[in-house]
Structure 1
Amino acid sequence: MTRTALVVIDVQKGIFAGKQTSPRWPEILERIGALAARAAAAGLPVIYVQHDGGPGHRLEVGGEGWQLDPVLARTPPSAVCRKTACDAFFETPLQAELNRRGVKQLLVAGCMSQFCVDTTCRRAVSLGYDVVLVGDAHATADSGALVADQIIAHLNDTLDGFEAGSAAVTVRSAAGLPLEAWAGE
């Protein structure tokens, strides 16, 4: 039995404050919100990961930017895990939460592609979870070398097929995810 959970990383009001992001961000954000709603309706656990920034950080704990984006308010989470590093497993209750629910496969969406999304996907595989990176449901900001859409495309290409032991990452679009079938497993 492969129990699946959706993990939504750092979709917070201030995630892109002062940064240039993909012009597709509003569309991606809506897709993440719709994916969370579909997953919950299918009976899958939906876990929001929230970054705790320090004083003066755009995601400073308790500040306006730290709050989860209102698109997520439409779908109450099964759990919220707070983190202070790119790795959503590092010193957080995420793995214990997944184990408690018998989860073996993660659907991953959220922000920032080349930091928290990438690190969490790789760590999850190293911990033995199969990962489906929702390739059209993660976003980032421009860097000095690449624009956001290039970073997203690069991450999708780089992680598709990444493996450790018997666990691997596959990249799929949100529309093609068989959430109802996974809920029945």
Structure 2
Amino acid sequence: MLAAKTALLIIDVQRGILAIPNLARKKEIEKALDETVGRIAGIIARARTAAVPVIYVQHDGSPGHRLEPDTSGWPIRSEVAPQPGEPVIRKRACDAFFETTLDAELTAAAIKQLVIGGCMTQYCIDTAVRRAVSLGYDVVLAADGHTTAGTRTLRFEQIIAHHNALLDGFDAGEHEVRVCLSSEIRL
């Protein structure tokens, strides 16, 4: 059991999150995404069983973006879809806290620790993890519960491994990030 009052934060696990034109290694990346979504679904099931709040963040892309609201890529994937009553925070930037109600909702619920998983590692996951710690939350990042696409210089596996190593132990005052496998997260 986690010591502080905890919530599970699921970020941008949307149908079109990795629907990037001309994506190199598309089949491998889609397979990794499906596997990651499966692990996230497992964490969600454990959170619900333990009565840990599950909070979703959904990206609203600009017109023409693969995550534009009310397009085929925008919905949260069915494998991890919110149940009635589970909040969905809509955002327009990489930062899940920027111009959203996320911090206010966490504060109102007396949440002190976040377990985080989702997409995309180097953008919305990295930003949410760092911002959460800076705002005074302790964070557990599921090492195998976030994913991304590669870039021109780095493969997706390298980006994930780099961020897991970089974020593990990141702190702001008394609050820090701990990175562990999804199977090791106790809710």
* Distance (Å, rounded) in 2 between the aligned partners of 1:62 and 1:74: 17
Correspondence for 1:9 among 11, 14, 18: 11
After superposition, the CA RMSD in angstroms is 1.4
Deviation (angstroms), 1:76:
4.8
* Distance (Å, rounded) in 1 between the aligned partners of 2:41 and 2:93: 23
Deviates more, 1:74-83 or 1:64-73: 74-83
SS where residue 10 of structure 2 aligns? Answer: strand
Name the residue aligned to 1:104: 112
Letter of the structure 1 residue corresponding to residue 4 of structure 2: T
Name the residue aligned to 1:85: 93
Residue identity (%): 52
Contact residue 22 and residue 140 of structure 1 kept, 8 A: no
Which residues in structure 2 correspond to 1:161-176 (within 5 Å)? 161-176=169-184
Contact residue 7 and residue 49 of structure 1 kept, 8 A: yes
CA distance 1:110–1:168, shift in 2 (3 Å): same
Contact residue 33 and residue 74 of structure 1 kept, 8 A: no
Contact residue 3 and residue 103 of structure 1 kept, 8 A: yes
Letter of the structure 2 residue corresponding to residue 9 of structure 1: I
Correspondence for 2:136 among 101, 105, 128: 128
What is the TM-score of this pair, normalised by structure 2?
A: 0.92
* Distance (Å, rounded) in 1 between the aligned partners of 2:168 and 2:60: 29
Letter of the structure 2 residue corresponding to residue 176 of structure 1: E
SS where residue 152 of structure 1 aligns? Answer: helix
SS where residue 24 of structure 1 aligns? Answer: helix
Contact residue 10 and residue 112 of structure 1 kept, 8 A: yes
Name the residue aligned to 1:66: 74
CA distance 1:143–1:110, shift in 2 (3 Å): same
Contact residue 167 and residue 177 of structure 2 kept, 8 A: yes
* Distance (Å, rounded) in 2 between the aligned partners of 1:45 and 1:55: 32
Which residues in structure 2 correspond to 1:153-168 (within 5 Å)? 153-168=161-176
SS where residue 85 of structure 1 aligns? Answer: coil
Say how many residue pairs are matched: 179
Contact residue 22 and residue 148 of structure 1 kept, 8 A: no
**Structure 1: 4+ residue segments shifted above 3 A:** 74-77
* Distance (Å, rounded) in 1 between the aligned partners of 2:47 and 2:35: 18
Name the residue aligned to 1:147: 155
Deviation (angstroms), 1:75:
4.7
Deviation (angstroms), 1:8:
0.4
CA distance 1:163–1:74, shift in 2 (3 Å): closer
Name the residue aligned to 1:182: none
Letter of the structure 1 residue corresponding to residue 59 of structure 2: H
Deviation (angstroms), 1:24:
2.1
Contact residue 57 and residue 91 of structure 2 kept, 8 A: yes
Contact residue 5 and residue 45 of structure 1 kept, 8 A: yes
Correspondence for 2:53 among 45, 67, 76: 45
Name the residue aligned to 1:29: 37
Contact residue 139 and residue 148 of structure 1 kept, 8 A: yes
Letter of the structure 2 residue corresponding to residue 61 of structure 1: P
What is the TM-score of this pair, normalised by structure 1?
A: 0.93
